[in-house]
Structure 1
Amino acid sequence: MSDTAETPALTSPYEALPPRMRGMSVNQIAEIADMAREDPEVIKLWIGEGDLPTPPFVVEAAEAAMRAGQTRYTYSQGLPRLRQALADYHQRHWGVEVAPDRFAITAGGMNAIMQAMQATLSPGDEVIIPGPHWPNLAATVNVCGAVPVTVPLRRGADGGFSLELADIEAAITPRTRMVAICSPSNPTGWVMPKGEMIALRDLVRARDLWLLSDEVYNHFTYGNAIAPSFLELCEPDEKLLVTNTFSKNWAMTGWRAGWIVVPEGLSGTFASLCQYNTTSIPTFIQYACIAALDQGDDFIRTMVARCRESRRIFCEGLGAIPGIRLQPPEGSFYLMFSVDGETDSRALAIRILREAKVGLAPGTAFGDDPDGKLRLCFAISPGLAEQAMERLSAFFRRG
């Protein structure tokens, strides 16, 4: 008998990946965008990004910090000055006192969500997410080895979206660990009313669950006030994690800077998570973020005003086309609409890209989509919105 052990069959690198990695889905928003990112003729409304450049005072703050030598490692949780600026910002806009040590600076809102889930989820846990939802949210749950559970945002006869608390309660199982809310919503523009936020807070309290609140679009509302924050409704030591980013308010998508608000007593945990995720984001970018917070309220108002007018252009234009169903979004800078007779929104988005030279996101990017929904981003100038609407109107009217 041979003393030589039998050599096991080698697997391919792909086969050696954990199942959650092999099953990672393609982001269809990026897939459509990659078809024409470099085409100058395409009006690009697929990704959540405005067309304004980062304001000069933010760029100048980063440049001054670099010239002053702020190019070295710093606190993993973020500069103390930046965390104080965030505390001042929340006090100014929502009237809440949040201790500076409850903020952790992240590499954008995406990394904030990742860290929130890394800190709280174990393999097999379930996370309840209202849908349609931003695809990255459910994908992050999967990456952490947990299971996303979608409950529907119900759609009324007028095309508007609403969330029933009973649907969330019915989805809770012994494995449920978290409820994740994005309000104002990407992709639907739904804004959770304050009374419903209180009811959800009470439900997660009663069931001892984590609540993740993605509040990226709070300033982008089209009524008389900005959207409420769960920080107004919860105690400092509750199981609440609030994620946000500098990307949308201050046109800083490429800077990759965001933040997370953590419960009282977890600062050390999230300082370590920041350390092991990114060490810290670049120090000079953090100085740019301080400038955005301290000097950027007028810029936010400019952004929201432009979005309001472009929202009007698209809602009126699309609403006048037979077979298109929509409800003007209450918040965010997205419009989700349905096209009668269409069941394959990905194929429809590709046709619109090729024939009308307008880039839209397919409804299938955000979950099951039986009724042919498309999402467009209207964080653009009203003039460009008019051009895009002319192209879309011509496309849909010729059939």
Structure 2
Amino acid sequence: MSLTRDAILNMPDSPIIDVWRLGVGRSDVIGLWAGESDLPTPKQFSEAAMAALANGQTFYSQNRGVPALRQAIAAYYQRLCNVTLEDERIAATCSGMNSVMLVAQAIIEPGDNVVCVTPSWPNILRAITITGGEVRSVPLGHGEDGWHLDLQRLFDACDARTKAIYYASPGNPTGWMIEPEQQRELMAFARERGIAILADEVYQRIVYDRSHAPSLLELATPDDPVFVINSFSKAWAMTGWRMGWLVYPRAMLETFEKLIQFNTSGGQAFLQAGATVALNEGEPFVKSFVERCRGGQKIALERLRAIPGVSVVPNQASFYLMFSVEGVSDTLDFCKRAVRDAGVGLAPGIAFGEESAQQIRLCYARSDASLIEAMDRLENFIGR
């Protein structure tokens, strides 16, 4: 008899990992499979962390993060969204994913369901399953004008056991973005029904028609059951740092103090010094990174549209495109062959849900030269 819970035993690896394993370590593979750029963390962030390490900031930190970082998070929202956050509602976490797991541990009980806008990054949905919840998917629609959410379909998926609604905006893998009008309708529905909202805003800054995607914090009161997740990974090029933050209802301060204590006992103080500098001084980098992604989006979108048999869904934000190839139904096999035969790493759509099983995700957060070479290889591969 296995000691492992059935929910864990029956949980498959992400198909992205299956593809990644074929090409990891190969210098000839251009990896467009992972959600990160090819830029290292800016030196000023790293140097702040190194200085803190050298100065002996190697002891336990406060559970919710060092005060300077919490203050930087609050100041960031004041500048960006004109939102005032109480310190008691902010926790620095050991990655955005850690934030998700903390919220799942806090609110989900066995038998609860969470209604999720999909396609979605699989790790979020696995957190719900791990904590005993049921995932109810509500797929986005899409067409030549991009992705769209049917709010009524989302509302209809909720029932008496619905504990929360989850969405990512901008979304991974779609680049879909919820607009304020739909946010207001969603907020009103959640208040009426007593349902929590888990808003993943990790890609909030990677937007091409404005300074940032709308944050639910711009509508929510301190007492609304709203949980907003963010991360330093994407816009500040800090994926390997595993640093994020969480904003939660003010009544749950004690809850998250306890959960962080029993999960991680708080993050590393010297890394938080680097994250503080990222928020306080990193705006020029964020803006330049978004412009770099804008160029990558243009290259990838134009090149994919020019390949016979390829259909691509345009995105509003993030640094991903989803496309399909005529005659390809097994996208996991397609992505494996693309690694072996073309030296291009892609993510199969099945990783993000059954509704995207025949699509493929491409991350274009790379240098123009690297992306052009990848598109050349992909065009030749598809045309064989």
Bin for the TM-score computed over the shorter chain: over 0.9
Question: Paired residue for 2:60?
Answer: 73
Assess if the C-alpha contact under 8 Å between 2:142 and 2:313 holds in 1. no
SS at match of 1:266: helix
Output one character per residue of 1:64-97: Cα deviation in whole Å (capped at 9) or x when no partner.
1011110001101111111000000111111111
Give 1:62-101 correspondences, 5 Å limit: 62-101=49-88
Output one character per residue of 1:241-281: Cα deviation in whole Å (capped at 9) or x when no partner.
00111111111111111110011122221111111111111
Larger radius of gyration: 1
The letter for the 1-side match of 2:205 is H
Compute the TM-score of the two structures, normalised by the length of structure 1.
0.94
Inter-partner Cα distance in structure 2 for 1:25 and 1:209 = 29
Inter-partner Cα distance in structure 2 for 1:133 and 1:23 = 19
Inter-partner Cα distance in structure 2 for 1:229 and 1:263 = 15
Does 2:369 correspond to 1:366?
Answer: no
Cα shift at 1:19:
1.7
The letter for the 1-side match of 2:85 is V
Please point out which of 277, 281, 290 is paired with 1:304: 290
Question: Paired residue for 1:136?
Answer: 123
Please point out which of 160, 177, 180 is paired with 2:146: 160
Inter-partner Cα distance in structure 1 for 2:316 and 2:210 = 11
Assess if the C-alpha contact under 8 Å between 2:102 and 2:259 holds in 1. yes
Inter-partner Cα distance in structure 1 for 2:50 and 2:218 = 35
Aligned alpha-carbon RMSD (Å): 1.1
Structure 1: 5+ residue stretches without partners = 1-10
Inter-partner Cα distance in structure 2 for 1:59 and 1:121 = 37
Question: Paired residue for 2:22?
Answer: 35
Does 2:371 correspond to 1:385?
Answer: yes
Cα shift at 1:159:
6.3
SS at match of 1:336: strand
SS at match of 1:211: strand
Inter-partner Cα distance in structure 1 for 2:114 and 2:46 = 38
Inter-partner Cα distance in structure 2 for 1:371 and 1:325 = 14
SS at match of 1:351: helix
Output one character per residue of 1:43-68: Cα deviation in whole Å (capped at 9) or x when no partner.
00101011110101111101110111
Cα shift at 1:300:
0.5
Question: Paired residue for 1:4?
Answer: none
Does 2:267 correspond to 1:281?
Answer: yes
Does 2:9 correspond to 1:25?
Answer: no
Inter-partner Cα distance in structure 2 for 1:32 and 1:294 = 37
SS at match of 1:274: helix
Question: Paired residue for 2:330?
Answer: 344
Cα shift at 1:225:
3.5
Inter-partner Cα distance in structure 1 for 2:332 and 2:160 = 36
Output one character per residue of 1:165-217: Cα deviation in whole Å (capped at 9) or x when no partner.
11111111211110001000000111111111111111111111000000000
Assess if the C-alpha contact under 8 Å between 2:165 and 2:196 holds in 1. yes
Assess if the C-alpha contact under 8 Å between 2:350 and 2:357 holds in 1. no
Inter-partner Cα distance in structure 2 for 1:84 and 1:201 = 27
SS at match of 1:326: strand
Cα shift at 1:24:
1.3
Does 2:223 correspond to 1:237?
Answer: yes
Structure 2: 5+ residue stretches without partners = none
Cα distance change of structure 1 residues 350 and 40 upon mapping to structure 2, 3 Å threshold: same
Identity of aligned residues (%): 41
Inter-partner Cα distance in structure 1 for 2:3 and 2:263 = 23
Cα shift at 1:327:
2.7
Compute the TM-score of the two structures, normalised by the length of structure 2.
0.98
Assess if the C-alpha contact under 8 Å between 2:348 and 2:357 holds in 1. no
Inter-partner Cα distance in structure 1 for 2:267 and 2:375 = 39
